[in-house]
Amino acid sequence: AQDKPVSRIRTTERSEFPQLARNGKQNNLDTIKEYLLDSGASTATEIAKETGIQRPNVVMTIKDHPHEIVFVRREGKNVLYGIPTRE
């Protein structure tokens, strides 16, 4: 079969191809920190969706690294996490 030419390009979400987004090498902590630095404060659900890391693993990583990923604020039922600022 002959290859067809590219007829259109679509944008994907990070979660569609997590092995490419994380380059297959970063650990969960580095991936989450990179996402938060790029996107700002986010919920665990948002982090999971955009990074391709399962939500329970996101929550566990946040709890295991309280000085690297911190509570930022609560918006209703949503808890937002971020990277601490250095002063």
Write the pLDDT tens digit of every residue in 7-36: 787 777 766 766 555 455 579 999 999 999
Q: Which residues of 6-25 are buried (b: 16+ CB within 10 A; e: fewer)?
A: eeeeeeeebeeeeeebbeee
| Tens digits of residue pLDDT in 24-83 | 557 999 999 999 999 999 999 999 999 999 999 999 999 999 999 999 999 999 999 999
pTM: 0.69
Assess contact for 49 and 58: CB atoms under 8 A. Answer: no
Residue 68, class by beta-carbon neighbours within 10 Å (0-12 exposed, 13-18 middle, 19+ buried)? middle
- Give the residue from 16, 75, 15, 76 showing the smallest Cα distance to 46: 15
